[in-house]
Amino acid sequence: VAEKVDDREQWQNAIDWGCDMVQGFYFSRPQIMETRRLVPDLGQLMDLLNLLIDDADDHRIIRALSGMPVLVAQLLRLANCSGNANPKRTAIASLHHALAAIGTARLFQWCSLLLYNHSDPETVCRDPLIALATQRASLMLRLAMFGHPQETAFAQTAYLTGMLSLLHVIYGREQEEFADELPIGAAMKAALTGRRGTLGELLSAAEVFEGRRPVVMDTEEHAWACADPSWKGGLIR
């Protein structure tokens, strides 16, 4: 096992030397690629995620889904495989029925995975970048729920911020430039580009958990993120 592999050159050297496994953050560093604009599908997906965070009614969610036929087909398949679907009934064939079967919470998590062009939760662990993003998002969600237990929308925003914090890697972009193009609110953008605000503090705390950077909590209100003895060892399952 090669440890502390922090770039792709070190990773390649470890492989050449016969290492079977590597440990480090080499996969979370973007490679320089030809600049490309965000594809429209990503923008549509972000619009849908924002609707889910805002607890929009089913009609608005379905209207947003209707503009993404590929996503609709995947959603119907997911709903037909859902444990909430009654196998004795006719297969789910409408968006209303599909949304009722899987629920908005599951749809939110599923769409978050789709940001990485990955729709199978069972195989997330096979991709280290997605696994790290999911771990980070889950930790931020639980920290948000710990500090703001009555604010479900804030917890979902924290989760999405964590998922977005590594998305620039697969696009080969710098994080600040990439985040500036995302259709997200000012608080999320401040967290991603400068680790500012409450979401920024949660993101920094998650990175501390990963051993990537020091954290500075600039208000007593959010000191729970590192002060509570249970946050580091008991939040990720």
Number of other CB atoms surrounding residue 21 within 10 Å: 9
pLDDT at position 219 is 39
Q: Are residues 47 and 151 in the same domain?
A: no
Same domain, 88 and 162: no
Examine the domain organization and report whether 70 and 130 are in the same domain: no
CA 21 vs CA 5, 17, 218: distances in Å:
10, 11, 39
Q: How far apart are the first and last CA of the chain?
A: 24
pLDDT, position 36: 42
Q: What does the pLDDT read at residue 215?
A: 41
125 and 148 in a single domain? The answer is: yes
E strands, the chain, in order: none
The CA distances from residue 98 to 45, 67, 85, 206, in Å, are 18, 16, 9, 34
State whether 145 and 224 are in the same domain. yes
9 domain-assigned: no
d(CA 124, CA 117): 11
Could you say which of 99, 114, 129 is where a domain stops? Answer: 114
Residue whose entry in the numeric block shows the structure tokens 């069972």 = 122
Domain boundary among 114, 130, 149: 114
Do 123 and 202 fall into the same domain?
yes
Kindly give the confidence (pLDDT) of every residue in the chain, 237 residues in length, as a single tens digit, with 9 standing for 90 and above.
Answer: 666 666 666 766 777 777 766 666 555 554 444 444 444 478 888 999 999 999 999 999 999 988 888 788 778 887 877 655 455 555 676 888 888 888 898 889 888 888 887 555 555 556 788 888 888 999 999 999 999 998 999 999 999 999 999 999 888 889 999 999 888 999 999 999 999 999 999 999 999 888 755 444 443 333 333 334 343 333 332
Q: Are residues 122 and 63 in the same domain?
A: no
Q: How many domains does the chain have?
A: 2
Residues 94 and 166 in one domain: no
pTM of the model: 0.69
Are 236 and 122 found together in one domain? yes
Q: Looking at the structure, tell me whether residues 170 and 211 fall in a common domain.
A: yes
144, 60: one domain: no
In a domain, 60, yes or no: yes
Whether 93 is covered by a domain: the verdict is yes
Show the domain range for 90.
36-114
The radius of gyration of the chain's CA atoms, rounded to the nearest angstrom, is 19
**16 in any annotated domain:** no
- Same domain membership, residue 214 and residue 127: yes
